[in-house]
Structure 1
Amino acid sequence: MTFSRLLSTFFGAGLLRPAPGTWGSAVAIGLGLIIHGLGSFPLLFAAFVAVTGWGFWACERELASRPGEDPSEIVIDEVAGQWLALLAPSFGFWMMGLDNWRFPYPGWVGAFVFFRLFDIWKPWLVGRADRRHDAAGVMLDDLWAGLFAGIATMVAAGLAHGFLM
């Protein structure tokens, strides 16, 4: 297995069946929570930047001979998008000074659910990026989905804390 293949499948998570994108997102959530625990928002942000850069590189390499494809086993895009969604509550918890290992479940559950919703539904800019049918589009649709999921997670948290607390 080449290094680009290993990265693009996120160390084999994309080879899990059924629904490799959901598996990739689930692995990303678990690993993201550990990264947040080890170094809070700054470390998660650095990991997001790294995985995004590696993702663009790995997708370009893996799809060079298969233009227009978005193989389901490539899940590094889900990892990048999921970590982007997770950055929103991570930043909030970091700014509040919460203990790194305290990441209340609604935050990561919301980030996961909203990310999967936007990744599957593909509204607006998510769908536009997906229709590019190139390696950059493979990454960009999930980054847009992650951005929208992060915003939706924070809006939901604001509503919950405003009405339920």
Structure 2
Amino acid sequence: MEGSQETDHYIRESAEQSSGLPVPRSTLELKLQCSEQALLALRAQYLCLRSKLNEKDQIIERARAESCMNATAMKKFVEENQRLAKECSNLLSQCKKLERECSLYENDREALMDFGNEADQRAKTAENRIRELEIEVENLSEDLQFHNRHLAQKEAQMIEAINTQCCCSGG
């Protein structure tokens, strides 16, 4: 309540001063004291706001750095995805080519079985080649499945990173 009485006293004396009456020294000292307190309060408020501004600037700078890192990671992810997609496409093309080749060898084997000893030897050779190609097709199929799983994992990781980013940015 003391501050309220000082304010009332200050207002009263300010009214007296504006009416042309002589202003007592205590009034002037009170005005000076109020001004100094207001200045200190403003200075403290300024320092507080300045500190908050610096904190916000740091947060913005960290967000920019994180955004830059995320953009770089996203670019690498996209490049890796494109590379894997191209590799998968090549493997699929190879598989189809090998399947056609297997089919041709299968047809050749059937035709060669009609011949005598020489035809029998040719058929055995073709069967060996077919086995090699089937193993290669199986290996390529496994590679394709591996790359598809790897691609799915990468996508899941990226989605999780984006979700984490969104959750962190929103908070």
Larger radius of gyration: 2
Scaled by the length of structure 1, the TM-score of the pair is 0.24
User: Given the two structures, how large is their TM-score scaled by the length of structure 2?
Assistant: 0.23
